[in-house]
Chain A
């Protein structure tokens, strides 16, 4: 590399400064949710592997996952996996079978559609996880018509 410009700075500045509206935000969110899910997956493979290698450690790991900060993280994780999947499907289907639809106007609408679908798929799961978290960790029942289970 003979260039005097740092590629790290150039790339990072492009992520922040590029004004690509919907497509750019979808790109950033896809990247963030992909890397976030990967980080979780890496930790998750290792902590679950303790059931075989160090079974006594597993209950400590699961105790951590039951804590309120981690459960809030899990609610975020579900959104990450859902959004990354819906948006990834938009990318994959357009790339593989309908590249003509890579037009800015078409994709602007498609980006909003992916966001709406993601929230619809995520919201019931998020509510249910929140209910479980408040019930088990704080003794609060936010869905009294369901009772406790």
Chain B
């Protein structure tokens, strides 16, 4: 029998689990997205009217929002982990973490605003 002291899990330990659970979630979420848009529909059939049609449906906005939240957070946290293998100083690690956090927040916000706002093909003057 092993006895384990109960300690409050650290941020790194929670993130370690989150990487694994979010990864499992991303299999249906990311694969379906990529196969649908890039393989079945294909880039030659995608234009702004197609995007507008899609983002008029609440279900797709919710789906894309989940993808944006989980895939980008998973990837940016992974980037932090990789960078920590090259950067060992405490201050440097803090700076890199803040940089990645900032980039993640800004790009996520841009993506979220666009998803909620939807496509605006009516603004294109021909």
Partner of B85, one of A11, A45, A82, A136: A11
Contact A78 B85, CB 8 Å, known A35-B79, A85-B26: no
B42 near A129: Cβ-Cβ < 8 Å = yes
Annotate B22-44 by CB proximity to A: 1 below 8 A, 0 otherwise: 01101100110011001100111
Residues in A60-78 with C-beta less than 8 Å from chain B: 62, 65-66, 70-71, 74, 77-78
B119 touches A59 (CB 8 A): no
A92 CB within 8 Å of chain B: yes
Interface contact B39-A128, CB-CB below 8 Å: yes
Q: Does B87 contact A (CB under 8 A)?
A: yes
Does B27 contact A89, Cβ atoms closer than 8 Å? yes
Extra inter-chain contacts (9) besides given A31-B82, A74-B38, CB under 8 Å = A11-B85, A41-B72, A42-B107, A49-B111, A51-B48, A65-B46, A89-B23, A96-B20, A129-B38
- The chain B residues found within 8 Å of chain A, CB to CB, are 17, 20-21, 23-24, 26-27, 30-31, 34-35, 38-39, 42-44, 46-48, 51-52, 55, 68, 71-72, 75-76, 78-79, 82, 85-89, 107-108, 110-111, 113-114, 117-121, 123-125
B117, A52: Cβ atoms closer than 8 Å:
yes
How far is it, in angstroms, between the C-alpha of A66 and the C-alpha of B21 when the chains are bound?
34
Residues of B within 8 A of A136 (CB): 44
Query: Would B34 and A81 count as touching, CB distance under 8 A?
Result: yes
Q: Are A51 and B119 closer than 8 Å at their CB atoms?
A: yes
B51 contacts which chain A residues (CB < 8 A)?
48, 51, 58
How would you classify the secondary structure of chain A's contact residues: helix, strand, loop or mixed? helix
Quick one: closest B residue to A37, CB to CB?
Answer: B75
Expressed in whole angstroms, the Cα–Cα distance for A54 and B71 within the complex equals 24
Of the residues A49, A59, A95, A129, contact of B48 by C-beta under 8 Å: A59
